[in-house]
Amino acid sequence: MPRMQVYLPEELYQEVKQRGLPASELLQEAVRRELHRRELLAEADRYLEDLVDEVGEPSPRSVSRAETVVRAIRDRDAQAEAG
C-alpha cells in the first residue's frame, strides 16, 4: 500500500493520540468520504447543466422562490438542532 505524509494541526494530532485512535484508518475514511462528496457534487453539476439545456435558465422569480425555500429549510434545520 502506498504511503503518504499528512500534516495535522497540533490539537488534532493530540486528540487522536490521547484517544488512541487509528489515524491511518480515520484518514482513509475521511479521504473516501471527501472523494465521494466531490463526485456527488460533480454529478449534481452535470444534472443541472443537462436540465438547463433541456428547459433553459430559471427565471429570476424562480431563483428567488428557490432561495426562499432553501432559507426556510435551513432555518427549520437550525431550530431542530437547537431545540
Residues 1-42 have pLDDT tens digits of 899 999 999 999 999 999 999 999 999 999 999 999 999 999
pLDDT of residue 23: 95
pTM value > 0.75: no
Task: Write the CA distances from 4 to 7, 28, 60, 71, integer angstroms.
Answer: 10, 11, 47, 41
Helix (H) or strand (E) holding 63: helix 60-82
User: What is the C-alpha separation between 79 and 51, in angstroms, rounded?
Assistant: 33
